[in-house]
């Protein structure tokens, strides 16, 4: 669903391939565009950027593309806000024994929060992003829908967006494949076309999550690794180094592969078990963000995606006020508090999304 041609569009320029092609497509279509690059993290000693999306190199690459397509380029500094709303929250969630998804939170609070305020400042009607997702009307509401290129689909991390945010959003790449985007990038800029995609959390250097957390809150406090029956198998390095479903890096030998089942923050205990103990039958959520479906009060069936790389599974959603209780038709592995549960219909429309609060196991543990 494209904006009217007389619209002024703020194009979020990350310095990567996708935002570059987005800018070129919109300028070629005749829109009045302004490119804006967000500076979100300070420079890391000895490195120019964390990930190629928000550092000095990204700014330079974004400006080069804006110059090529004949579009004004601006830089928005939001380091303090990003630290307060995204990084500090990320750290606090790990301290509480949960595993957050900072990208989904960033989309709602920074890219479609702080950036929307910038759009108002410059008189832009819409914000265009190089995300792979579609946005389509669904009755009197707007709904995100999975991208045509399923492997690149980013509707999961966009799912918390509100209706007012969606009404000013535009995702030109939702109907394209990554190969098609790179072909367009080759014609635009050779150096840009060969850039790798950013895959990890932008503010964590070298993908070292434990090291990053220790740098913010100090060394982890060791504690026992136990089975559900209370058998002590070893000692963990600090709960921040673990997440539910984790198999590698436990540092203990056992006759069967062991997985993290639960983090008990109150007792500083890591609970582990065999694969059969990782399956969950139901879970509860925090307050839901309603998408194309709108607020519901009666149970409904749909598909739920539990992680960014999880295949959506059939479920029944039971609304309980603002929160949800979700019954899985087939047990799923390692439902993780802190992660987003995103609910889709069979045509790929986002119906709702909510953060997982707690889970129920598939069978009584012994």
Distance, in Å, from the CA atom of 143 to the CA atom of 163, rounded to the nearest integer, reads 8
Which distant-in-sequence residues (6+ apart) come within 8 Å of 113 by Cβ? none
Terminal CA-to-CA distance of the chain, rounded, Å? 53
Range of the domain at 230: 219-273
pLDDT score for 257: 93
> In this prediction, what percent of the chain has a pLDDT beyond 70?
93
pTM for the model: 0.92
Which of 33, 53, 54, 106 is catalytic? The answer is: 106
Confidence category of residue 200, pLDDT binned at 50, 70, 90: low
Flag whether 112 is in a domain. Answer: yes
For the cut 80, the answer to whether the pLDDT of residue 177 exceeds it is yes
Which of 53, 66, 103, 202 is catalytic? The answer is: 202
Residues 97-102: what's their mean pLDDT? 93
Distance, in Å, from the CA atom of 325 to the CA atom of 64, rounded to the nearest integer, reads 49
Checking DSSP bridges between strand 126-128 and strand 8-12, what pairing results, if any? parallel
For the cut 60, the answer to whether the pLDDT of residue 305 exceeds it is yes
Flag whether 349 is in a domain. Answer: yes
CB atoms within 10 A of CB 355: 22
Which one is predicted more confidently, 210 or 42?
210
Residue 131, burial from CB neighbour count under 10 angstroms (0-12, 13-18, 19+): buried
Residues 59 and 194 occupy one common structural domain = yes
For the cut 80, the answer to whether the pLDDT of residue 198 exceeds it is no
Would you call 241 helix, strand, or coil by DSSP?
helix
> CATH number, domain at 100?
3.40.50.620
> 243-288 pLDDT, tens per residue?
999 999 898 988 899 999 999 999 999 999 999 999 999 999 999 9
Q: Is 302 an annotated catalytic residue?
A: no
Residues 38-65: what's their mean pLDDT? 70
For the cut 50, the answer to whether the pLDDT of residue 141 exceeds it is yes
Distance, in Å, from the CA atom of 323 to the CA atom of 354, rounded to the nearest integer, reads 8
Residues 104-117: what's their mean pLDDT? 92
> 220-233 pLDDT, tens per residue?
899 999 999 999 99
Confidence category of residue 195, pLDDT binned at 50, 70, 90: confident
Q: Is 106 an annotated catalytic residue?
A: yes
Residues 289 and 224 occupy one common structural domain = no
* Domain end among 154, 177, 206: 206
Q: How many domains does the chain have?
A: 3
Residues 299 and 160 occupy one common structural domain = no
Residues 352-362: what's their mean pLDDT? 92
For the cut 70, the answer to whether the pLDDT of residue 143 exceeds it is yes
């Amino acid at each position: 669903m494209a904006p009217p041609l007389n619209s002024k569009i703020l194009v979020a320029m990350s310095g990567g391939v996708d935002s570059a092609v987005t800018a070129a497509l919109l300028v070629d279509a005749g829109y009045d565009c302004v490119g804006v690059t967000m500076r979100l993290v300070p420079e890391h000693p000895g490195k120019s950027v964390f990930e190629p999306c928000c550092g000095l190199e990204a700014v330079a690459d974004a400006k080069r593309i804006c110059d090529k397509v004949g579009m004004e380029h601006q830089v928005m500094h939001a380091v303090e806000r990003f630290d307060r709303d995204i990084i500090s929250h990320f750290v606090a969630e790990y301290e509480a024994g949960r595993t957050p998804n900072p990208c989904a939170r960033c989309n709602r609070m920074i890219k479609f929060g702080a950036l929307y305020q910038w759009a108002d400042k410059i008189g832009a009607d819409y914000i265009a992003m190089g995300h792979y997702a579609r946005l389509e009307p669904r009755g009197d509401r707007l709904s995100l829908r999975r991208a045509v290129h399923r492997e690149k689909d980013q509707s999961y991390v966009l799912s918390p967006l509100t209706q007012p945010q969606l009404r000013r959003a535009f995702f030109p790449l939702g109907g394209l494949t990554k190969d098609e985007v790179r072909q367009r990038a080759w014609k635009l800029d050779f150096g840009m076309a060969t850039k790798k995609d950013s895959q990890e959390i932008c503010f964590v250097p070298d993908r070292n999550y434990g090291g990053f957390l220790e740098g913010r809150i100090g060394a982890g406090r060791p504690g026992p690794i136990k089975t559900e029956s209370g058998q002590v198998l070893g000692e963990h390095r600090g709960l921040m180094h673990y997440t539910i479903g984790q198999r590698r890096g436990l540092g203990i030998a056992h006759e069967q592969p062991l997985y993290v089942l639960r983090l008990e923050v109150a007792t500083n205990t890591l609970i582990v078990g065999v694969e059969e103990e990782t399956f969950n039958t139901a879970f509860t959520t925090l307050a839901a963000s309603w998408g194309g479906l709108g607020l519901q009060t009666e149970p409904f069936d749909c598909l739920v995606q539990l992680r960014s790389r999880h295949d959506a599974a059939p479920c029944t959603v039971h609304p309980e006020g603002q929160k949800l209780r979700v019954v899985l038709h087939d047990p799923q592995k390692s439902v993780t508090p802190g992660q987003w549960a995103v609910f889709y219909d069979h045509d790929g429309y986002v119906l709702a999304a909510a953060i997982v609060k707690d889970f129920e196991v598939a069978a009584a543990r012994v």
